[in-house]
Amino acid sequence: MGESNWYVVHTYSGYENKVKADLEKTIENRKLHDQILEVAVPLEEVVEIKNGVKKTSQKKMFPGYVLINMIMNDDTWYVVRNTRGVTGFVGPGSKPVPLSEEEMYHMGISHGEVQVDFEEGDNVAVISGVWEGTVGTIQSINQSKQSVTIHVDMFGRETPVELNFTEVRKL
């Protein structure tokens, strides 16, 4: 089948999240989960002080670029290349070049499995992001995406929410 690697895709400026959403929808529709494993728009926390008020916000680390963990073949290349907003893969000519281990390390991406101190069924508190302060029960853990799915109570209904490992803490 081939090994998955991280590739960098150039997008129109400001289209990074739209490209990510469109690609994830295409992966779902074409059942490409086993070939395109993750689509990421790397963000970094930035602390700004405006009018004497300290505010933390998320900024794109690489505006105009999206990272994709995928197995490169004709199908996946075609899907990514023909996503609206994508101008092309980063690499010489039309040949995409995967990121090296060193480049991935500097971006905070690692291939190894992350050890976590929680498992399915555990109650966790959300410690950052839009769901901060929420408590939920882990329904599933996705090691390749480094995420957990928890159920939160929204408008009186149990709603599944996918969160990064770094956003939750075991209770």
Question: 21-29, long-range: CB within 8 Å, 24+ apart, which pairs?
Answer: 22/83, 22/84, 22/85, 23/66, 23/68, 23/79, 23/80, 23/83, 26/79, 26/83, 27/79
**pLDDT the model gives residue 118:** 82
**Least-confidence region, from 85-89, 115-119, 132-136:** 115-119
Residue 112 has pLDDT above 70, yes or no: no
For residues 92 and 128, membership in a common domain is answered with: no
For residues 46 and 99, membership in a common domain is answered with: yes
Cα–Cα distance measured from residue 49 to residue 151, given in angstroms and rounded to the nearest whole number? 35
Cα–Cα distance measured from residue 54 to residue 50, given in angstroms and rounded to the nearest whole number? 7
Q: Are 140 and 165 in contact (CB under 8 A)?
A: no
For residues 97 and 140, membership in a common domain is answered with: no
Q: Is 105 helix (H, G, I), strand (E, B) or coil?
A: helix
For residues 31 and 87, membership in a common domain is answered with: yes
**pLDDT the model gives residue 148:** 87
* Selected residue with higher pLDDT from 88 and 142: 88
Beta strands in 51-114 (DSSP E): 53-60, 65-70, 86-89
Q: How many domains does the chain have?
A: 2
Q: pTM above the 0.85 mark? A: no
**Least-confidence region, from 93-97, 139-143, 157-161:** 93-97
Which domain, by its residues, includes 75? Answer: 5-106
In a domain, 100, yes or no: yes
